[in-house]
Amino acid sequence: KNEVEQSPQNLTAQEGEFITINCSYSVGISALHWLQQHPGGGIVSLFMLSSGKKKHGRLIATINIQEKHSSLHITASHPRDSAVYICAVPSFGNEKLTFGTGTRLTIIP
């Protein structure tokens, strides 16, 4: 069973700050997902990555497969980035996801 750990659990920052959220997992995987959960509860997939780095707007995700670690970065953070960010890893075979506990990010104007 894959254990997924995220840090920090809560993060409060000023608008414009560079944000880093970390995720580590215990069992080798084919890819890792970063998800965003809005205050209303809905989940949106941000990234799925299996190696290196991906960038989408102000969001950057990196993964180190050997070290079983991934990071999500937000540049020039904005209050609308306030949400819970969740990393999740799939199982081989049917790709069910095991989720981390999430990082609650609050960006203060």
Partner 1 sequence: EPEVTQTPSHQVTQMGQEVILRCVPISNHLYFYWYRQILGQKVEFLVSFYNNEISEKSEIFDDQFSVERPDGSNFTLKIRSTKLEDSAMYFCASTGTSGRLAYEQYFGPGTRLTVT
The residues that touch partner 1, with contacts defined as CB under 8 A, are 29-31, 33, 35, 41-45, 48, 50, 86, 88, 90, 93-102
Q: What is the DSSP string of 25-81?
A: ESS--S-EEEEEE-TTS-EEEEEEESSEEEEETTEEEEEETTTTEEEEEESS--GGG
Least separation in angstroms between residue 38's CB and partner 1 is 9
Q: Specify the residue, 17 or 48, whose C-beta has the smaller distance to partner 1.
A: 48
Q: Specify the residue, 41 or 109, whose C-beta has the smaller distance to partner 1.
A: 41
Residue 109 C-beta-side C-alpha neighbours within 13 Å: 1
Least separation in angstroms between residue 77's CB and partner 1 is 24
Q: Specify the residue, 30 or 75, whose C-beta has the smaller distance to partner 1.
A: 30
Q: Specify the residue, 77 or 103, whose C-beta has the smaller distance to partner 1.
A: 103
> Would strands 103-108 and 10-14 be described as parallel, antiparallel, or unpaired?
parallel
Least separation in angstroms between residue 27's CB and partner 1 is 14
Q: What is the C-alpha to C-alpha distance for residues 102 and 53, in angstroms, rounded to an integer?
A: 20
Least separation in angstroms between residue 109's CB and partner 1 is 26
